[in-house]
Amino acid sequence: MHVRILGSSSGEPVPNRNASAYLVSDGTLRLLLDAGDGVAQQLVRFKEESCSIDAVFISHMHPDHAGGLFLLLQRMVISRRSKPLILFLPGGILPGFLDVFPYFNIFMERLPFIMNIKPVAAGILFSVQGTEVHALSNGHVAHYAPYAAGRPVRPESFSFTITGPDRKSFIYTGDIDNLAELNEAASDCSLILSECTHVSPDDVLEFAGNHSIPRVIFSHIPPELEDRIISIRSPRLDVQVAEDGEIVEV
Ligand SMILES: [Zn+2]
Ligand SMILES: [Zn+2]
């Protein structure tokens, strides 16, 4: 299984990094983790075919993780995609969010492909041909709850564990509130692809060490910490900093 880094920024617009998006390929399936603003452009830039993506998993609805969805879908329509697409959206925004698509001139009955929209909920989300995606709820957007009250929206955020047909697994943290939220997902993972905007890189290294995760890739890089994160070394762990366009073998 390998992961193409399509966007490694923190969400703050910077010249050298795009917003969050990661394309997982296991040789058969192609899964997109998050669709941050600009993801359609990044797919073109790195010569990745959007029409062959089997499923899209949105961790939470911050624009740096979901804001590229509409242009991605428009590109799939214009390209006359015919392959069915599964779109996993945080369950707390459904069904109200479905009403947004027509405002972007995306009409389900006009799509040249079947789009199956499913809620992200904790547990096994996807299991096809030996590849599994497991969702873990986290508290990254819990502080919005008072503002969401009375509205057709329930703020939810998830991390994902992806396991390939060879049973190798990695954690994609998405955005998290604290690392302890990932405890139950940490066993038997060979890699943590971790944000480092809402948790400190040092805490991520400690978490990886405590859970015997041998490899850490820092992504979601805040520009003010970039130089420091690039300089981080660990005597025990394989540590990398994600760069847009790079392909990571898992
Ligand atoms: Zn976020
Ligand atoms: Zn983010």
Quick one: which ligand is closest to 195's CA?
2
Quick one: which ligand is closest to 11's CA?
2
Quick one: which ligand is closest to 157's CA?
1
Q: Mention every residue, 6+ apart, whose C-beta is less than 8 A from residue 145.
A: 155
What's the pTM value of the predicted model, to 2 decimals?
0.97
CA of 80 from ligand 2 middle (Å) equals 31
**pLDDT value for 187:** 86
C-alpha 195, offset from chain centre: 10
Q: What is the CA radius of gyration of the chain?
A: 17
CA of 60 from ligand 1 middle (Å) equals 7
Other C-beta atoms lying within 10 Å of the C-beta of residue 165: 15
**pLDDT value for 45:** 98
CA of 97 from ligand 2 middle (Å) equals 20
CA of 110 from ligand 1 middle (Å) equals 31
CA of 232 from ligand 1 middle (Å) equals 24
CA of 80 from ligand 1 middle (Å) equals 32
Q: Which structure tokens are listed for 230?
A: 């690039």
CA distances from 159 to 134, 180, 230 (A): 8, 12, 24
Q: What whole-number distance in Å separates Cα of residue 23 and Cα of residue 2? A: 8
Quick one: which ligand is closest to 64's CA?
2
Q: What is the torsion angle, in degrees rounded to the nearest 10, for the CA atoms of residue 180, residue 185, residue 186 and residue 190?
A: -140
Q: Closest Cα partner for 31 from 69, 65, 58?
A: 58
CA of 220 from ligand 1 middle (Å) equals 10
CA of 11 from ligand 2 middle (Å) equals 5
Q: What whole-number distance in Å separates Cα of residue 12 and Cα of residue 68? A: 15
Quick one: which ligand is closest to 140's CA?
1
CA of 105 from ligand 2 middle (Å) equals 26
- Ion ligand 2 — residues with CB under 5 Å? 11, 64, 175
Q: Helices H, strands E: what count in the chain?
A: 6, 14
Running along the chain, 250 residues long, what does each successive block of 10 average in pLDDT?
Answer: 98 96 96 98 97 97 98 96 97 90 94 97 97 98 95 95 96 97 93 98 97 98 96 96 98
**pLDDT value for 95:** 80
- Ion ligand 1 — residues with CB under 5 Å? 62, 175
